[in-house]
Amino acid sequence: MVKVIPMQEEHIEGVLAVEEATFSIPWTRKDFEREVRENAMAIYFVAIDDSLDEEKVVGYAGMWHVITEGHITNVAVLHEYRRQGIGDLLMENLEKVALEREMIGITLEVRINNEAAQRLYHKYGFRPEGIRKNYYADTREDAVIMWKYYPFYEGYEEHCNKG
């Protein structure tokens, strides 16, 4: 069974394993230590498989709360655990925090060719708002900037009716 809990320092080793298995330019141990220890804006969750003899981090998601909005930093699930709803659980936890804190919305960047991730984000109401050219250093691939706005956003109705 997989459970989602707030990330603690003790999860960093497992998060690193997911990070390195998922991304071509992975964050480092120091990056995650800084997020957990020093970054007051950071909100991270881990997905733990507790059906094994030893609990295993199988996914994680992070977001920064910047003034009135959220910025998703990463969402990752180990390949063998994908398509089991773990990405959904992680996104639901980020959204719950965003709503509790009355953020006006959440944004993220995703590789233009990462259709699976874009489908997940669309499912949660994220819409493309722009492109960051040559965003990814390893491939010079463009990123799609996606946003999801909440009713707390003063221009919410107008924004939703523009498309």
Question: What separation, in Å, do the N-terminal and C-terminal C-alpha atoms of the chain show?
Answer: 40
Q: CA 153 from chain center: how many Å? A: 21
What tokens does 144 get? 């799609």
Q: What's the whole-number mean pLDDT along residues 119-126?
A: 92
Q: What is the pLDDT of residues 57-87, one digit of tens each?
A: 999 999 999 999 999 999 999 999 999 999 9
Q: According to the model, what pLDDT value does residue 154 have?
A: 59
Query: Strand 105-111 to strand 2-6: parallel, antiparallel, or no bridges (unpaired)?
Result: unpaired
Q: What is the mean pLDDT of the chain?
A: 90
Q: Is position 44 annotated as part of the catalytic site?
A: no
Q: With a threshold of 0.85, does the pTM exceed it?
A: yes
Q: Is position 60 annotated as part of the catalytic site?
A: no
Q: According to the model, what pLDDT value does residue 155 have?
A: 56
Domain that holds residue 100: 2-160
Separation between Cα atoms, residue 72 and residue 151, nearest integer Å: 19
**Total of domains in the chain:** 1
The 3-state DSSP class for residue 54 equals: coil
Separation between Cα atoms, residue 80 and residue 70, nearest integer Å: 29
For residue 152, pLDDT over 80 is answered with no
Catalytic residue of the set 121, 124, 141, 157: 121
CATH number, domain of 151, equals 3.40.630.30
Catalytic residue of the set 19, 109, 149, 153: 109
